[in-house]
Amino acid sequence: KQTILENFRPRKFFDDVTKRDNATTPRTDLYVAGFPCQPFSTAGLMKGFADARGRGEIFWHVRDYIDKRRPRVFVLENVSGLKKISGGQYFRAIHEALLQLGTYNVYTDIVDTKDHGLPHSRRRIYFVGIQSIWDDQTFAFPEPV
C-alpha cells in the first residue's frame, strides 16, 4: 500500500475490496487483480471458498467489479495449485463464473516466472478476459525466454 501511494498517487485507493461499492467505483479499461492464494495453495489448508478467514470469497468481490464496471480486459492471478486442489473444482468454478459474465473470451494458463527472465520459480495461474467485441483472437500467453 505504501509503495503504491508514494509512487503512483492514485485518485482513489481502496483498502478493502470487500467494502468497495463496485457500482460506483471508477471504470477502467484494464483491471488487474490477485485474490488471496492461501485458500487455494497446496502449501495451505486448501479450503478454497470455505476458508475460515473468508479469503476464498474475495474472488467473488473481484468478479463483481468486472460484472458491474465491464473493463475491456481483465487479468487475474493466483497460485497454480488452484487448478489441482479438490480435483480442480475451484478452478472450474472460477473459470465458469468468469465465462458466465457473457461478454468475455477467457484465456487461462500457468506461467512460471523462471521461464520469463526472473531468478526464481513461481508458478501462477492467470485468467485473462477480453471483451469479445475487442478480442481479435490473437492473444497468446508469452513463450518462455
CB-based contact 13:4 (threshold 8 Å): yes
Q: What CATH class has 19-134?
A: alpha beta
Domain boundaries, the chain: 19-134
Candidates 72, 78, 79, 77; CA nearest to 129 is 72
Active site residues: 37
State the DSSP H helix or E strand holding residue 91, giving kind and residue range, or none if neither: helix 89-99
Q: Which residues pair with 108 in a beta bridge?
A: 127
Please state the pTM of the whole predicted model.
0.91
Q: What is the pLDDT along the chain (145 residues), one digit of tens a residue?
A: 899 999 998 888 898 999 999 999 999 999 999 998 888 888 878 888 878 888 889 999 999 999 999 999 999 999 999 999 899 999 999 999 999 999 999 999 999 999 999 999 999 999 999 999 999 999 999 999 9
Q: How many CB atoms lie within 10 A of CB 130?
A: 21
Per the structure block, which three cell numbers stand in for 3?
509503495
